[in-house]
Amino acid sequence: MATSCSVLQLAKTDFKAACKYIESGVEVEENGGDPKDAIAFYRDGIKLLENALSRPSVKNANLPNNHDAPKQQTQKPTTNKAHSLPSKEDIKSAAMSKLKKFDKAILSRVFDDVLTDPSDITFDNIAGNEEAKEQLKQTVIYPALRPELFTGLREPVRGILLFGPPGNGKTLLAKAVANESKCVFLNISAASVLSKWVGESERFVKTLFAVARALEPSIIFLDEVDALLVTRNAGVSSGSHVTQRVLTQFLAELDGVGSGKERILVLGATNRPQDLDDAALRRFPKRLLIPMPSEEARVQLLTNLLRGQQDAALSHEDIVRIARLTKNYSASDLTQLAKDAALGPIRCKLFAPTSQSLGFT
């Protein structure tokens, strides 16, 4: 029953993606674009519809009748919403049949600790980093949505490194990429990989990549990748024997991703790229700097943070002035600043001294 639900969820995803392609073709024609591009979008949309209709669970499903079609066509598809992707439990059910030879305990760790529920974060929710967002669209999202166009020399990279000072949205960017490219998101940290038992960490890494292959298209996000792929020249003080074995296993798996046809992306994030092993660094041919937010980005971020705050009496000019005063603040610093400011009215009401507390009555 779970597998049937999963297949139906995937069919719904195909339907939504097909609507997006067809809508893109209409936009090309309306904007006076190349008719060949519009036809290519229509062809891809039709192909996805055929795939969806051919799924076993769809053949017996109660699909909308023809009288409902015009009404549905007037609605803009929400392909960037998280509910267009199968849930974590549906993904797990669909993948388990392909992974029977792997250790069930390690598989449970991967599914429980690493596999992340679909996110509703999009690039529109992230202030600044316009150059990085455009690069990620070109190297990840477009190839994921139109894989037939990105072959040969246009084949997308399989490893991307996001680096820069902490607190500026590297993890948010990774989640937005997974959502907009409709990929399964596997979020890894050093704590989830390393184990005190000999050989278990390496088996975990091997199982992780097997899960990614079973669930492709997928993104493996290595948060604080420098803690996992530390340079071998650092000695025992920086990396134990366990981390060295994990590094070796990761390098082997990354080689497999780069040489195969799997639709898997390994996305790393680090504040210290200089600590990465040279061999590991070569597995990330695309490297994107995520810098401190510019003044324009700080204005946008503060505006987003204060939107909907009923007691926020700041004008746009006030926000611009604050942005100028917060040079070298990270996005995380600005978020904390806004939270502290939002508590101001509560402090005044709850903790302001009264005449009674001062002993005047």
3-state secondary structure 150-182: CCHHHCCCCEEEEECCCCCCHHHHHHHHHHHCC
Which residues of the chain fall below pLDDT 50? 1-7, 58-59, 61, 63-83, 236-239, 358
Phi, psi at residue 267, to the nearest 5°?
-115, 120
At residue 353, the pLDDT reads: 62
At residue 29, the pLDDT reads: 74
The predicted-structure confidence for 120-156, as pLDDT tens digits, reads as follows 888 988 888 899 999 999 999 988 888 888 888 888 8
The predicted-structure confidence for 173-192, as pLDDT tens digits, reads as follows 999 998 888 888 999 888 88
CB 135 within 8 A of CB 285: no
Q: Where are the domains positioned within the chain? A: 9-54, 88-231+240-289, 295-342
Non-local (6+) Cβ contacts of 246 within 8 A are 193, 194, 201, 202, 205, 228
The closest alpha carbon to 271, from 180, 326, 332, belongs to 332
The closest alpha carbon to 264, from 226, 225, 215, belongs to 215
Cα atoms in the 13 Å half-sphere on the side-chain side of 354:
6
Residue showing tokens 């960017």: 173
Burial (CB count within 10 angstroms: exposed 0-12, middle 13-18, buried 19+), residue 70: exposed
What is d(CA 9, CA 118) in angstroms, rounded to the nearest whole number? 13
Q: Which CATH architecture best describes the domain 88-231+240-289?
A: 3-Layer(aba) Sandwich (3.40)
Alpha carbon distance, N-terminus to C-terminus of the chain: 72
Distances (CA, A) of 30 to 24, 77, 142, 311: 10, 18, 21, 44
At residue 103, the pLDDT reads: 78
CB 77 within 8 A of CB 23: yes
Strand ranges of the sheet holding 218-223, from the earlier edge strand across to the other edge = 184-188, 218-223, 264-270, 159-163, 286-289
At residue 227, the pLDDT reads: 86
What is d(CA 203, CA 335) in angstroms, rounded to the nearest whole number? 39
CB 251 within 8 A of CB 144: no
At residue 63, the pLDDT reads: 46
Which DSSP string corresponds to 96-112?
Answer: HTT-TTS-HHHHHHIII
